[in-house]
């Protein structure tokens, strides 16, 4: 097994593209090292991108935020500007692992691990986040929800690396929120989760909305029917009840030792109501 810590993204792409055996990207290692220790993966080459300075930055420009793929989640939680603009995204990121893990783990690693229960992904999907991808053929940008295609599988082509996550500049009167259900309060995997992102008009009526569910299907669900219910409303009790029903109906979960299909469907609706109300309240404060 070879371990390489390149100084540039170009070198990392070349190493990945030219690898003769199984190659793995190490951004934080909180997923990769666990999978290696469990015998689920044994790469011939590990490329540690934490040495690439450009990937360890969070920057803001006229279009929004650029979050490098090697930025630890703890750094996101400490970024006051990002927390004000996208509190739901930060909520998802800061629920990954323990305090120690937070210093290493990244939202891009969480995304590329392609777990249906990933904490940061539903909030990113609800936010309309995009992934900036670099590879031997150049650059491309796609919606975050297009990266995972199934448990443990992504749409990335050979040699491609996600350079950054892009979040749009916040419109006035916008808010987002994320919550999950876990048996324990810390260091557990979501049994089901929900994220809502919405924008209000000057009268406090929802004019744009996105609703995403995690651990409810093989990949994160973007529930258009639920978003349509929110649009045109002031997120009253009747709207929230219809939202919950739409989210429960959209779920395609499995039965396992952590939760039944029936339970997951019920909780998905409950969480959707809670985060929709929180997002609405946050939007009204901006």
d(CA 223, CA 114): 19
Predicted TM-score (pTM) of this structure: 0.95
CB 154 within 8 A of CB 113: no
Q: What pLDDT was estimated at residue 257?
A: 84
Q: What pLDDT was estimated at residue 104?
A: 93
Q: What pLDDT was estimated at residue 187?
A: 65
Residue located via tokens 């448990």: 151
Q: What pLDDT was estimated at residue 186?
A: 66
The number of angstroms, rounded, from the C-alpha of 136 to the middle of its chain's C-alpha atoms is: 25
CB 238 within 8 A of CB 189: no
DSSP state letters, 162-230 = EEEEEEEPPPSSEEEEEEEE-SSSSS---SEEEEEEEEE-TTS-EEEEEEEEESSSSS-EE-HHHHHHH
Query: Which residues of the chain are under the pLDDT cut of 70?
Result: 185-187, 286
Q: What pLDDT was estimated at residue 286?
A: 59
pLDDT tens string 56-72: 999 999 999 999 999 99
Q: What pLDDT was estimated at residue 4?
A: 96
Q: What pLDDT was estimated at residue 218?
A: 96
d(CA 45, CA 32): 12
Q: What pLDDT was estimated at residue 98?
A: 86
Q: What pLDDT was estimated at residue 99?
A: 87
Q: What pLDDT was estimated at residue 217?
A: 96
DSSP bridge partners of 135: 138
Residue located via tokens 């630890």: 72
Q: What pLDDT was estimated at residue 184?
A: 76
pLDDT tens string 175-229: 999 999 998 766 678 999 999 999 999 999 999 999 999 999 999 999 999 999 9
């Amino acid at each position: 097994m070879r371990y390489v810590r390149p100084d540039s993204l170009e070198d990392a792409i070349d190493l990945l593209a030219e690898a003769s055996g199984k190659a793995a990207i190490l951004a934080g290692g909180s997923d990769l090292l666990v999978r290696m220790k469990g015998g689920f993966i044994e790469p011939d080459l590990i490329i540690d991108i934490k040495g690439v300075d450009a990937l360890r930055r969070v920057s803001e420009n006229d279009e929004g935020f650029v979050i490098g793929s090697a930025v630890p989640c703890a750094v996101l939680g400490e970024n006051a500007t990002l927390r004000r603009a996208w509190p739901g995204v930060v909520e998802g990121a800061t629920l990954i692992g323990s305090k120690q893990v937070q210093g290493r783990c990244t939202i891009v690693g969480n995304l590329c691990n392609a777990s249906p229960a990933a904490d940061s992904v539903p909030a990113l999907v609800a936010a309309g986040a995009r992934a900036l991808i670099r590879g031997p053929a150049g650059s491309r940008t796609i919606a975050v929800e297009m990266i995972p295609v199934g448990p443990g599988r992504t749409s990335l082509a050979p040699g491609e690396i996600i350079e950054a996550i892009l979040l749009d500049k916040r419109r006035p009167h916008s808010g987002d929120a994320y919550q999950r259900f876990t048996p324990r309060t810390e260091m557990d995997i979501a049994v089901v989760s929900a994220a809502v992102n919405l924008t209000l008009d000057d009268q406090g009526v929802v004019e744009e909305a996105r609703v995403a569910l995690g651990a409810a299907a093989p990949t994160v669900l973007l529930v258009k029917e639920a978003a349509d219910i929110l649009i045109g409303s002031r997120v009253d009790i009747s709207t929230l009840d219809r939202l919950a029903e739409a989210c429960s109906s959209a779920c395609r979960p499995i039965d396992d030792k952590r939760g039944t299909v029936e339970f997951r469907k019920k909780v998905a609706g409950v969480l959707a109501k809670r985060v929709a109300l929180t997002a609405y309240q946050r939007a009204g404060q901006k």
